[in-house]
Amino acid sequence: MTANKILLYISGALLLIILPIIYKIVYPLFPLYADFKTGYDIIITIPYIFITLGLFVAVRIKDSRAFWNTLLFLLTYIILINFQYIQFSTLQLSDVAQSLSVFIPILIILISIRSAKKFSVKEFITQFLIVASGIALSFILPVYFKAFFNIAFSSHIFINHPNWQLPDYIWFLLIIMYALLYMKIDSNSLPLLITVTILVFLLFQCFNLAAIINEPTHEVKLYTALLYSGMGIFPMYYMLFSYNRKEFYDNLTALPNEKYLQKIFKKFNNEVSLSIIEIDHFEEFVDKYGKEEGANVLRFLSSHLNTESDVGAYRLDSSKFALVYNKVNSDEVLWQLNSIREKLSHKKFIIRKSQKDRQKSGKYDRGKLEIKPNDITFTISVGIARKSESINTYEQLIKEALYALKSAKSKGGNRCLRAEDITY
């Protein structure tokens, strides 16, 4: 766990703890702040700036999931702040707040479990319909289905307290939301789960206050604006984290990529060894078993490298990986890599479908086939280069390691070869 993640968790927990204290101290002073129109307008405007900036960043990093979640928060803020301008039958602010407290977790589930694809017309229309439907139902149910709304949204069976006006079962809905998100997202998206947790609790603070007061007063608006200003920090953190993952990490294996290796290479001293690893006959493997199994075997190799090596692994391109040894002598590096290569050659990799069965199965019925697994083994070749007076740049080291790798593969593969041992 990185220091940034720990900082995010601590700051989120502290924010949730001190919010009630801030409310008790600051809320009585809100009528005084409301008298100063300029200051009042600035506070109301700040969330718009934060959220609009978040939307811009989401578009820049091409993260559809972050964009629609941020837009959802913007829409709820507009509704709460400008409710007095909404002329919709006998609709009351408390009704909308109660409805939104139910639909927002559902919308977050539907948005967040979808992969963070690049923006497209189809993706835009789908996500727009999801968000628009949830917001529209929040207005329609309290007006046209009042009897149902009073039973489903306004009843308080478990929690009957004047300071709690949201439906009791939203807590069960939240548990379901987090369970689904936890199952759907990978470990690299954990900041998304933490961010969503913090934002939902802050949203519920706003919705509950609106439901209690039931009027869009200056006090309600100021408190809502302050909470939404705080909310703006966490989506920005998530999007910056997401950008960093896309920029410096490989999507398939979750390993740092070559761009990241180049970035940190200057931190290594003069006693650094760079090894480039590649699966022997990988192209033939893909031709025989397919691209899907080719991706699986790359994940398998990356997991093995992370488990068996004492240093971090990097993915260089489609089939090549790198291990960097700092302050380790050349003989020790060779011994460690030979140990990794030997252990890997005895590991079983499961091919889940035979070639014949894969050709029979269609795009949507592959999971229905009952295929007995096929265990295979594969080998790797490793090229090693060590930094020296004549080889002291990243480009030179890569070139030497690639030459050593090519020589190892030309000798039949399944071996580690140092550039310094090759006779030119």
- Taking only the tens of pLDDT, the chain with its 424 residues reads 445 555 555 555 555 555 555 555 555 555 555 455 676 777 788 888 888 888 887 787 777 777 888 888 888 888 888 887 776 667 788 888 888 888 887 887 777 776 555 667 777 888 888 888 888 888 888 777 777 666 666 666 666 666 666 776 677 777 777 777 666 655 555 666 667 777 777 777 778 777 777 777 777 787 788 778 777 776 666 667 777 777 788 888 888 888 888 888 877 777 788 999 999 989 888 888 888 888 889 988 988 888 777 677 899 888 899 998 887 888 898 999 999 999 888 888 887 654 444 454 444 343 333 444 567 888 999 999 998 878 888 888 999 999 999 999 999 989 999 988 876 6
Other CB atoms closer than 10 Å to residue 359's CB: what's the count?
Answer: 9
Question: What are the start and end residues of each CATH 3.30.70.270 domain in the chain?
Answer: 258-421
**CATH fold for the domain made of 258-421:** Alpha-Beta Plaits (3.30.70)
d(CA 222, CA 43): 7
Q: What residue ranges in 266-397 does DSSP mark as E strands?
A: 272-279, 313-315, 320-326, 349-351, 374-376, 380-386
Q: Which two tokens stand for residue 187?
A: 């470990």
d(CA 216, CA 349): 62
Q: For residue 319, give the DSSP letter.
A: S
- What value, to the nearest 5°, has the Cα angle with vertex 63 and ends 98 and 229? 45
Question: What are the start and end residues of each CATH 1.20.1070 domain in the chain?
Answer: 3-248
Instruction: Please state at what angle helix 93-112 crosses helix 121-144, rounded to 10 degrees.
Output: 150
Angstrom distances, CA of residue 57 to CA of 27, 64, 78, 300: 32, 11, 20, 34
321 forms beta bridges with 277, 315
d(CA 36, CA 23): 20
d(CA 55, CA 36): 30
d(CA 204, CA 168): 12
Closest CA relative to residue 44, chosen from 68, 18, 77: 77
Angstrom distances, CA of residue 245 to CA of 131, 242, 250, 270, 318: 27, 5, 8, 29, 18
pTM greater than 0.85 (yes/no): no
Asked if residue 384 lies in contact with residue 337, where contact means CB atoms within 8 angstroms, the answer is yes
Angstrom distances, CA of residue 280 to CA of 201, 283, 354, 405, 406: 52, 9, 20, 11, 11
Other CB atoms closer than 10 Å to residue 283's CB: what's the count?
Answer: 11
Q: What is the CATH number of domain 3-248?
A: 1.20.1070
Other CB atoms closer than 10 Å to residue 250's CB: what's the count?
Answer: 20
